[in-house]
Chain A
């Protein structure tokens, strides 16, 4: 089974040379730590920076330079700043190549819910609805089950939706899956996890074709 860093490490393999990438808050943020050194890419943060760099040294901290998680960051050589409208122009206009975000639930038709638990938690959608509404390539990074042990990969989402039929790939602590014909298709197993383990933790329909390889991370 993978931990959060393991999930991030596996997703980092999906990042290709020349990609502009938007990372959501949580596990997706960790992906930046594991991208290969030999490819060129730029991270976009929707609050208005392309070319986001690592956290600053203490003496470099600048209140005017943060990421979408409100963390202090740095700008790499070649970075640019822009306003929120242009930022979402990049996203809506499909100029961003890859979007990685977290989720509370994903359904087998690609629906995603990650912004609201009615009566309990209402933090808002932030940029998630814009991202999932337009991005061509959306990877969800999440744990396979919630804290109560219930599957987060469902036939249909029970929580208010963030977007419809938009998720293309899911990387969890147990597996890598994509969505084909409105079903989850199992692509890889996490180290030490069996197909049966994954089946048990998946409420939605699961396509299993041939031998499912263990992921290499």
Chain B
């Protein structure tokens, strides 16, 4: 076994610098790497580019980095939940690239899998296609999209072992698996960190080869955006 554990979030984020590009898992506030985000706030890294489906809410998730103006550019598919984000975007303080959600996922997966680019019908004929190569397949136009390049991927998994094997829970899975191994260094925070052999290999979602650093998160608030009940 190759041991991927680090002692804490501080060790996990060693090497993080101003101007870097980060990938962050999560959909809304579900499955976001809360501990790594807190550490990014604490380290006060500046001018970073964040690839994340959403931008958190005003006082949680990536909203915390936005509030401190640490983010130079956001690459997301939907940012509707964050008033400060909208203000910074409309005033031009924040550079924003909005891309289709499936394209966002696939650009991560392409980076993870060594595929430099791919064609998708999503966004053809819209602003998203501007400046991109268009090619017909089976009589239908597609646009070329490229794999992301990122320095760090920050991932939240449910359970992991010391070898970096991961299991996700429910819809907190979302973008997390496709971002593993899609950046130069993949940092994973888990709720439960177990010894090798304790996870059934049949039920591992992401093998440890895609992970460089794993640690047990100190605290998971798991905030709910829309608490809807019967």
Q: Which of A26-85 contact B (CB under 8 A)?
A: 45-49, 54-58, 61-73, 75, 81-85
Contact with B along A154-182 (1 / 0, CB 8 A): 00000011111000000000000000000
Q: Please, which residues of chain A bring their CB within 8 A of the CB of B173?
A: 48, 81-83
Query: A134 interface residue, CB < 8 Å from B?
Result: yes
Q: Please, which residues of chain B bring their CB within 8 A of the CB of A162?
A: 126
Q: How far is the CB of A70 from chain B (nearest CB, A)?
A: 4
Q: Give the distance in Å from the alpha carbon of A74 to the alpha carbon of B79 in the complex.
A: 25
State whether B121 touches A47 (Cβ < 8 A).
no
Contact size range, A: 35 or more
Interface of A is mostly: loop
Q: Give the distance in Å from the alpha carbon of A126 to the alpha carbon of B103 in the complex.
A: 10
Query: A148 interface residue, CB < 8 Å from B?
Result: no
Q: Give the distance in Å from the alpha carbon of A68 to the alpha carbon of B227 in the complex.
A: 13
Q: Which residue of A lies closest to B206 (CB)?
A: A83
Partner of A66, one of B100, B122, B205, B226: B226
Q: Please, which residues of chain B bring their CB within 8 A of the CB of A126?
A: 77-78, 101
Query: A95 interface residue, CB < 8 Å from B?
Result: no
State whether A48 touches B171 (Cβ < 8 A).
yes
| Given A45-B171, A83-B173, A124-B98: A134 and B227 interface contact (C-beta under 8 Å) | no
Interface pick from A12-20, A86-94, A186-194: A86-94
Q: Which residue of A lies closest to B205 (CB)?
A: A83
Interface pick from B4-12, B24-32, B193-201: B24-32
| Given A47-B171, A72-B228: A63 and B30 interface contact (C-beta under 8 Å) | yes
Query: A123 interface residue, CB < 8 Å from B?
Result: yes
Q: Give the distance in Å from the alpha carbon of A157 to the alpha carbon of B224 in the complex.
A: 36
Q: Which residue of B lies closest to A83 (CB)?
A: B177
Q: Give the distance in Å from the alpha carbon of A54 to the alpha carbon of B228 in the complex.
A: 10
Q: Give the distance in Å from the alpha carbon of A48 to the alpha carbon of B168 in the complex.
A: 12
Query: B76 interface residue, CB < 8 Å from A?
Result: yes
- Of A66, A72, A82, A91, which is in contact with the most chain B CB atoms at under 10 Å from its CB? A66
| Given A61-B229, A72-B229: A122 and B126 interface contact (C-beta under 8 Å) | no
Q: Which residue of A lies closest to B108 (CB)?
A: A85
| Given A83-B173, A85-B105: A61 and B128 interface contact (C-beta under 8 Å) | no
Partner of A64, one of B79, B105, B222, B230: B222
Q: Please, which residues of chain B bring their CB within 8 A of the CB of A54?
A: 230
Q: How far is the CB of B191 from chain A (nearest CB, A)?
A: 10
Residues of A at under 8 Å CB distance from B? Answer: 45-49, 54-58, 61-73, 75, 81-85, 87-88, 91-92, 111, 115-116, 119, 122-130, 133-134, 160-164
Given A72-B229, A122-B96, 15 other A-B contacts at CB below 8 A?
A49-B171, A54-B230, A57-B229, A68-B27, A71-B225, A83-B168, A84-B105, A85-B109, A85-B178, A116-B127, A119-B90, A126-B77, A129-B103, A160-B126, A164-B124
29 residue pairs of the A-B complex, CB under 8 angstroms, read A45-B171, A47-B28, A48-B173, A56-B229, A57-B230, A63-B172, A66-B171, A66-B226, A68-B27, A70-B30, A71-B225, A75-B170, A81-B170, A83-B175, A83-B178, A88-B101, A92-B102, A115-B98, A124-B79, A125-B78, A125-B101, A125-B128, A126-B78, A127-B77, A127-B102, A128-B100, A129-B102, A129-B103, A133-B120
